[in-house]
Amino acid sequence: MKQGKLALAALLLTLAGCSPSEQAVAPVQQAAGNSFKLSGDVKHIMQWVLDPAADSVWDSAGSIITAAGTRELAPTTDEGWLAVEHNAAVVAASGNLLLMPGRAVDDQGWQNIAQGLVDAGLLAQAAAKNQDSDALFDAGGQIYRVCKSCHSVYVQGDEAEESP
Ligand code: HEC
């Protein structure tokens, strides 16, 4: 009898120990047999993942005209090109992050545009790998058009004005 009570107390303790930690864990989404955990919403991806990476790619593409003359933006070192390749890879991967259930707004237009972002990012990645500044400029333009095409449909108001 005494032993029985002890066992029950131990079981209750185990259960009590389990439930709070289970609640603290963020819900895990199930999709096609894969489980994943969203690290943030679309706005989070824009602010912290995609926008900084795209900015870095654009900052390395084309040229700027200043009072002192025209300055080419393309990297001049292997390290510089590697950094562009890295950021282009983040742009490409972001396309898939935007397609995850919980972020994708619909499975038509949104899907096509986000896949277009993967393509444009991969083009920029290849251009950087080949250290081809003309191809990088074209890919940068393509990335920009993808941003625009999504925002023109899915972002209303001021945000659309501020962002590409
Ligand atoms: C598939 C759709 C889609 C694509 C592609 C896309 N965006 Fe966005 N973007 C959104 C949506 C939706 C919002 C509004 C998010 C919100 O406020 O909840 C947004 C908002 C933003 C914002 C404002 C974030 C803030 O602080 O409120 C920036 C900056 C931005 N996008 C940059 C970019 C850039 C740069 C690209 C291309 C490299 C891009 N976006 C491509 C859908 C997209």
pTM: 0.82
- CA atoms of 84 and 136, how far apart (whole Å): 9
- CB-based burial, 101-136: b 16+ in 10 Å, e otherwise: eebeeeeeebeebbebbbebbbbbbebbeebebebb
Angle at 92 between CA 64 and CA 116, to 5 degrees: 90
Indicate if ligand 1 lies below 6 Å from the C-beta of 97.
no
pLDDT in tens, 86-135: 999 999 999 999 999 999 999 999 999 999 999 999 999 999 999 999 99
Asked if the 39-162 domain carries CATH number 1.10.8, the reply is no
pLDDT value of position 21: 41
Q: What is the mean pLDDT of the chain?
A: 84
- Ordered by start, the domain boundaries in the chain are 39-162
Provide the token pair at 79: 């390290």
Tokens of 80: 């510089």
pLDDT per position as a tens digit, 57-69: 999 999 999 899 9
Pocket lining: 154 vs ligand 1, CB cutoff 6 Å: yes
Which residue lies with its CA nearest to atom 35 of ligand 1? 51
How much is the pLDDT for 159? 57
16 CA from centroid of ligand 1 (Å): 43
Which residue's alpha carbon is at the smallest distance from atom 18 of ligand 1? 43
Q: For residue 95, what are its two tokens?
A: 């396309």
